[in-house]
Structure 1
Amino acid sequence: MSKPLDRRRHPWRDDLAALSLRGKVDAPRYVEGQQQQIAAPLASLRNAPEPQAMLLTQGLRGEIFTVYDRQGEWLWGQLESDGYVGWLRAARLSAKPAAPTHYVSVARSHIYPRPDIKTTPVAVLSMMAKLRVVQSRGRFVQLSDGGYMMASHVHPLGDWQRDFAGVAARFLNTPYLWGGRSADGIDCSALVQMALGACGVAAPRDSDMQEAELFTALPGGIQNTTLQRGDLVFWPGHVGIMWSPSELLHANGHHMMTVIEPLKTALLRIKAETGPPGCVKRGTA
């Protein structure tokens, strides 16, 4: 028997489904989606078309969102970057996508109205927001919408970082936010996803998906493995990055921020809460 499709990553509800899912799921109607692009710095994806509905994840500027349904100011669809499905406000989108050329490579950076750091910023973008750069202006790059950013804060797409643990450390002290995916607030799996993304590795959104799909499991488990920087340690509903053989870097709800702490301390605390780690995975990024 085939495994049921995960609705987190497949646009399928009881009343409709994406046209691409015809023959795979039963639905009263199938809809061909329309691609739009996130124009706001951040777009919150929720599990219902309500401002107080649970935050599932967040889309970043420049990401594509395929729309399948609309209820008032809310659109239901799917993020192209990791396939996540949910509701976001239509005002966060543009119906005229512009092909990005660069991505934000620091935790956060301002957009200025002119190439002058003394001007009042018009927006703040987080790491992995995507931009279309049209020209260089000294220390700045000019964006297709007329704004300016520091050239040292953006990299061309394809010019990836090398040390994903080091990239993740740029989020140290960032507040913990369930469903958060930015320097304003981030959760454990988004920290992994953002850091790997900056290194050119596409990672799924949630920790269970990452445990199933990323890298190679170490057969000895955490008790019989010599850990190294960049290893991923998974617990039920949680993931952390080894900063060193004895230190864990993770966004967590205990500290309510991203921290580096002794692995032994984290193991004891999390074991009391959810149990021992399930596995350790190692790869290259």
Structure 2
Amino acid sequence: MTDRRTTPARADLAASFLEGQVKADRFVDPVDKQIARSAIWLRAKPSDDAPVDTQLLFGEVFAVLEEKDGWAWGFARNDGYVGYVRSEALSDEVLLATHRVSALRTYVFPEPDLKCEPSQLISLNARVSAGRRDGRYVEVIGTGWVPDAHITPINASEPDFVAVAERFLGTPYLWGGKTSLGLDCSALVQLALEAAGIPAPRDTDLQEVELGGRWRHLEFDMPKRRGDLVFWKGHVGIMLDGELLLHANAHHMATAMEPVTEAIERIEASAGPVTSLFRRAR
């Protein structure tokens, strides 16, 4: 059985690269478009009332397989997540990303002047195509200007993904969110790892499977250390040290840190016991 989150295939339509692997009435080549808004919702169905799955950030590329009635169906090139987004949020022109946002969030200004009214707010790991420089500002081609201190070359990596995650402390919990204005547990992990140059899927179960194939598995009674990932069914957190866990969670409705023993006791009552403990292989 295919996973609709990661397999761009329906009974009537599928991506051409899946021909011979899945059944569909027809197969089409994806057409790349680019997210032109700060962040947009991706949904399982083409309706504003449909539950949200995740967000796509400014500058991300979305591979479109169908556009109909104001909705585009396709998949994110970044992590392969499949779903529907509003067509109006997509740009036909796809600019090569030269930099990514390294600050938690940054304003985009119409001119390289801090006294201008900003046009939008873009978040950590948003992708930008940098142009001219003017003082302390860099042009985001086709969009405006951002402080140069808030972006970094696209191939630059943070040395410590845990330090990236710690910057989200206090951020409101938001199911499907991927920004410092609101995010969920798996987004916290994915964003922090991505900033450190470590690819990871979007959802907790997918992360547990994929990272479990690349990271070292530990028995849970082993001493823990900074950067270990703790998984439950439907939840994940990051160890800050041997005792404290950082996680975006619906109990605190925020990204919070707490003793891992307290989190285990509480989560076990609703979601069951810890399912995995991983440590990145060096």
Question: What is the aligned partner in structure 2 of residue 155 from structure 1?
Answer: 152
Q: Does residue 1:200 correspond to 2:197, yes or no?
A: yes
State the SS of the aligned residue for 1:208: helix
CA distance in 1, matches of 2:281, 2:137: 32
% same residue: 44
Cα deviations by residue, 1:43-82 (Å, 9 ceiling, x for unpaired)? 1101111112110111111111111112211111000000
Cα deviations by residue, 1:182-205 (Å, 9 ceiling, x for unpaired)? 112111001100000001111111
Question: What is the aligned partner in structure 2 of residue 185 from structure 1?
Answer: 182
Question: What is the aligned partner in structure 2 of residue 218 from structure 1?
Answer: 217
TM score, norm. by length of structure 1: 0.95
Cα deviations by residue, 1:6-48 (Å, 9 ceiling, x for unpaired)? 2211101122111111100111111222111111111110111
Question: What is the aligned partner in structure 2 of residue 168 from structure 1?
Answer: 165
Match among 63, 84, 102 for residue 66 of structure 1: 63
CA distance in 2, matches of 1:5, 1:87: 18
Q: Which runs of 5+ in 2 are unaligned?
A: none
Question: What is the aligned partner in structure 1 of residue 5 from structure 2?
Answer: 8
- Structure 1 residue 284: deviation in Å? 5.6
CA contact (8 A) 1:189 1:205 kept: yes
Q: Does residue 1:135 correspond to 2:138, yes or no?
A: no
**Which range is displaced more, 186-195 or 206-215?**
206-215
- Structure 1 residue 217: deviation in Å? 3.7
Q: Which runs of 5+ in 1 are unaligned?
A: none
CA distance in 2, matches of 1:75, 1:146: 22
CA distance in 1, matches of 2:190, 2:19: 30
CA distance in 2, matches of 1:65, 1:137: 31
CA contact (8 A) 1:217 1:279 kept: no
CA contact (8 A) 1:250 1:260 kept: yes
TM score, norm. by length of structure 2: 0.96
- Structure 1 residue 145: deviation in Å? 1.6
CA contact (8 A) 2:161 2:196 kept: yes
One-letter amino acid matched to 2:98 = T
State the SS of the aligned residue for 2:167: helix
CA contact (8 A) 2:218 2:278 kept: no
One-letter amino acid matched to 2:16 = L
Match among 18, 33, 38 for residue 21 of structure 1: 18
- Structure 1 residue 142: deviation in Å? 1.4
- What is the RMSD of the two structures over their aligned residues, measured on CA atoms? 1.3
Aligned length: 280
State the SS of the aligned residue for 1:281: strand
CA distance in 1, matches of 2:121, 2:143: 15
- Structure 1 residue 163: deviation in Å? 0.7
